[in-house]
Chain A
Amino acid sequence: DAKTTQPPSMDCAEGRAANLPCNHSTISGNEYVYWYRQIHSQGPQYIIHGLKNNETNEMASLIITEDRKSSTLILPHATLRDTAVYYCIVRVGQGGSEKLVFGKGTKLTVNP
């Protein structure tokens, strides 16, 4: 079972920031939070990941709470092409046996 909880769907206006929440209250100290997105019938696309510090790259920002029990993915200026299912995943295992356990994700719809 997935170790994360996400809202099933969200809407966002084009050009506005999209803030996608994720709860991972049972996360262990050495487990990373990963975010992927999947556009219909394509392979998941890696977005960003973090352990405990906030992270930013060219696609998004990841804000992790101090207790690490939740996080937020921020798309600063959403476009129509950002419409996708977004998965928040806690990566389990280590040393070559890492696994990504996908949940149902959040379907983000960016509206014009």
Chain B
Amino acid sequence: ETGVTQTPRHLVMGMTNKKSLKCEQHLGHNAMYWYKQSAKKPLELMFVYNFKEQTENNSVPSRFSPECPNSSHLFLHLHTLQPEDSALYLCASSQQGEKQIFGSGTQLSVL
């Protein structure tokens, strides 16, 4: 248990579905991150939030929509995904300028 909790742990969805990934941290951190890890590829940063404000969008397609209602929660809303979006989605948090702590990830399969 790292202090960063991601749900669900596994998700299977069709291309027409809408689903959401949730990330929660109670470490008092003020920055939260979404990463994507496709099979046999390095982790790719998707989004960064600092104090609930999005500060980085790494050219992510609009079918991925992040939401950060407060410093402790981060969501990734998914709609009309493609099979190539199947991947491990990882959330992380940090205190500004310090190490990032990762959750266990959500393994997503798009059929």
A residues with a Cβ closer than 8 A to B are 2, 34, 36, 41-46, 49, 94-105
Interface size range of chain B in the complex: 20 to 34
B1 to chain A, nearest CB (A): 11
Which residue, A34, A46, A96, has most C-beta atoms of chain B within 10 A?
A: A96
Chain B residue contacts of A104, Cβ below 8 A:
42
Chain B residue contacts of A105, Cβ below 8 A:
42
Determine the distance from Cα of A110 to Cα of B6 in the docked complex, in whole angstroms.
Answer: 29
Give the number of residue pairs across the A-B interface with Cβ within 8 Å. Answer: 57
A100 is contacted by which of B2, B45, B103 (Cβ under 8 Å)? B45
Is there an interface contact between A102 and B31, defined as CB atoms closer than 8 Å? no
Is there an interface contact between B105 and A102, defined as CB atoms closer than 8 Å? no
Chain B residue contacts of A2, Cβ below 8 A:
42
Determine the distance from Cα of A42 to Cα of B105 in the docked complex, in whole angstroms.
Answer: 7
Is there an interface contact between A102 and B43, defined as CB atoms closer than 8 Å? yes
Among residues of B, the one whose C-beta sits closest to the C-beta of A43 is B102
Is there an interface contact between A43 and B105, defined as CB atoms closer than 8 Å? yes
Interface hit among B12-20, B64-72, B75-83, B93-101: B93-101
Among residues of A, the one whose C-beta sits closest to the C-beta of B53 is A96
- Kindly list the 10 A-B residue pairs having the minimum CB-CB distance in the complex, ordered from nearest: A43-B102, A102-B43, A96-B50, A102-B42, A46-B99, A44-B102, A96-B96, A43-B104, A43-B105, A43-B103
